[in-house]
């Protein structure tokens, strides 16, 4: 990671599962730099104005995946709202390079909402990741505080359009508890996600990364997470991870097993030239 000058969300977001996931051969790369243009109240990634777009990053990510012999790679990013495509071209190029250098590695992308640029979404899906993830994070009532630059309905539309663009795509979303939501509100979100055809759902406890971030409203009991999982499975999700330490990439390699063989269409031809608007 250090040799390739790469960032991981495992470190930047202070994930509590970093030791477990890395020992299992799963890592979550954070592309497009380490500075996010948004200021979500729960996230430890630094906020600011990015000054650089690294066009060589996709190849370096693929080389790191190859060097680490990863079975499953999760690729996420900061938000780059100053870019016309939100960084979609870099996502797509990273997927293509990884497919070329690591044909046995499955790929999951955790993408931003691209501010509703559906051509950007199509560009990412065209590169054929095994799983496309976009986190809903919380209930609509709390968006103004938790995700002030995001729109709940836009996140739902992204997940719906992903299925329309590629009906065979596996889609995924994640939500947190502990920010002041109710059980009933969570079940409404589950129903909304199920209605968009989302296949995989993750539910975890919010943990305050620093005193400057949103306070924890309460800790949910493990029995409550088990109840949420049972209710979500009853709504038709293929796979649900629900527990206090669950994060978006938790046990991601197990979920990816459902996608092997379905999403691979890479033939080994030369990579296309990266073109940015």
Q: Are 74 and 110 in contact (CB under 8 A)?
A: yes
Task: Answer whether 242's CB lies under 8 Å from 232's CB.
Answer: yes
CB 124 within 8 A of CB 88: yes
CA angle in degrees (0–180, nearest 5) for 139-173-57: 120
Q: Tell whether pTM > 0.95.
A: no
The answer, yes or no, to whether residue 99 has pLDDT greater than 70, is yes
Identify the structural domains of the chain with CATH numbers, from first to last. Answer: 7-256 (3.20.20.70)
Mean pLDDT computed over 260-270: 46
Q: Parallel, antiparallel, or unpaired: how do β-strands 7-8 and 26-31 relate?
A: antiparallel
**pLDDT digit string, tens, across residues 198-214:** 999 999 999 988 888 89
Give the 3-state DSSP-derived string for 124-167, with helices as H, strands as E and coil as C. Answer: HHHCCCCEEECCCECCHHHHHHHCCCCCHHHHHHHHHHHHHHCC
**pLDDT tens-place string over residues 108-150:** 999 999 999 999 999 999 999 999 999 999 999 999 999 999 9
* Residues 6+ away with beta carbon under 8 Å from 85: 114, 117, 119, 120, 123, 276, 277
């Amino acid at each position: 990671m250090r040799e390739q000058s790469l960032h991981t969300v495992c470190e930047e977001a202070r994930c509590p599962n970093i030791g477990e996931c890395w020992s299992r051969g799963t890592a979550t790369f954070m592309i497009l730099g380490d500075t996010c243009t948004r200021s979500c109240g729960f996230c430890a990634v630094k906020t600011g104005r990015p000054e650089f777009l690294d066009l060589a990053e996709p190849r370096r990510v693929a080389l790191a995946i190859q060097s680490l012999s990863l079975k499953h790679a999760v690729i996420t990013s900061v938000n780059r709202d100053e870019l016309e495509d939100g960084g979609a071209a870099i996502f797509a190029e990273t997927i293509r390079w990884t497919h070329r250098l690591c044909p046995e590695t499955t790929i999951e992308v955790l993408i931003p909402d691209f501010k509703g640029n559906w051509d950007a979404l199509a560009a990412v899906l065209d590169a054929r990741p095994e799983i496309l993830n976009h986190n809903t994070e919380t209930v609509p009532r709390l968006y103004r505080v938790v995700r002030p630059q995001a729109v709940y309905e836009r996140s739902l539309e992204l997940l719906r359009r992903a299925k329309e663009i590629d009906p065979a795509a596996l889609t995924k979303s994640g939500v947190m508890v502990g920010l002041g939501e109710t059980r009933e509100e969570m079940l409404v979100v589950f129903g909304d996600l199920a209605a968009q055809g989302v296949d995989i759902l993750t539910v975890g406890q919010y943990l305050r990364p620093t005193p400057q971030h949103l306070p924890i409203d309460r800790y949910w009991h493990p029995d409550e997470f088990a109840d949420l999982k049972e209710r979500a499975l009853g709504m038709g999700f293929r796979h649900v991870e629900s527990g206090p330490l669950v994060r978006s990439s938790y046990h991601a390699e197990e979920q990816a097993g459902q996608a092997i063989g379905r999403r691979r269409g890479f033939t080994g031809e030369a990579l296309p030239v990266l073109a940015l608007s």
